Amino acid sequence: ISSSRDTEAITSQKLVKGHAYSITAAQQVHHLGSLVELVRIRNPWGQVEWTGAWSDDSPEWTGVQPEERRRLDRSADDGEFWMSYRDFLRHFSRLDICNLTPDTLTSDHVGRWNHAEFEGVWRVGSTAGGCRNYPATFSSNPQFLIRLQDVDDDPHDGEDGCTVLIGLMQKDARRERRFGRELNTIGFSVYEVPDQYKGRSNVHLGPDVLLRSAPAARSRTFINLREVCDRVKLPPGDFVIVPSTYEPHRRGSFVLRVFTEKRAHSSPMEEDVDADIQQVSHLLDTRAASKDELRTKRLE
């Protein structure tokens, strides 16, 4: 589309502008002695189909053997149509691929990945600290620990280390839009845990650590998408993932997913909380006594 006015306009060959189609199959067919690459495309409306070359009633099908044509016809439902790969490249401008596992698309095998998932909240005045550009509040963001112990068995990039895939996803995006609130601009940073904190799982790293050391890894950008996902390579050790919005004081809830090739320990990191139980009990007793005294005075 060239402007918002073109959205869902229908072309002369019955393609809907600004529309998200799905690719449901790819085949090669013999057409008059040569191979032609075809893709099967689905319009989620279930109607309004392509009328160009290789559409349902196009003359190109007369050059295909009847049994091959029947095989392709049986696999296409209403709203689906065939198009040559060449025409597909000409008419479509963007392709999104959803990879169902954390393996790279160039990998020859599917690995067994370890997975940890956490839910968190950015609360205004509490845990909505913004990115590192805001040093006064950055360390107040939620923090999550990953402990990497074993390097990859067969590094695909030739570099030893531990492959980690980190996905930060915003929750309740549709509900927020209904209230007129747009998606937050989000990203994450990964910091190595200093020696004095290693082996512990209940420490919240403060500005003395986060602002004096460079991150070991981070998301490539802060962006207002539903999910930010990046693959990083880290040495064995303890690391903290700090998910954040770009600006501080932006409320929101999120899911943090961590995939590792080798087994790893993961947990949220929290601050140590000390409480003097005797002091609290004494305070409660004092309040109770005050209420009794007040009640007595009222009766008098």
Q: Give me the active site residues, please.
A: 19, 43
Question: Alpha-carbon distance 288 to 277, whole Å?
Answer: 16
Residue 163 · residue 233 · CB < 8 Å = yes
Bridge-based pairing state of the strands 217-218 and 186-192: antiparallel
- Tokens found for residue 202: 């209940």
Residue 43 · residue 49 · CB < 8 Å = yes
E strands in the chain: 22-31, 34-42, 80-84, 114-122, 143-148, 162-170, 186-192, 217-218, 227-234, 237-245, 252-260, 264-269
Question: Alpha-carbon distance 254 to 244, whole Å?
Answer: 10
Residue 262 · residue 124 · CB < 8 Å = no
Question: Alpha-carbon distance 181 to 253, whole Å?
Answer: 13
SS3 label, residue 236: coil
CA dihedral of 39, 40, 43, 46, whole degrees rounded to 10: 170
Residue 116 · residue 266 · CB < 8 Å = yes
- Mind giving me the DSSP string for 131-151? -TT-TTTGGGS-EEEEEE-S-
E strands in 43-193: 80-84, 114-122, 143-148, 162-170, 186-192
Long-range contacts (CB closer than 8 Å, 24 or more residues apart) made by 8-15: 10/48, 13/50, 13/51, 13/52, 14/48, 14/49, 14/50, 14/51, 15/50, 15/91
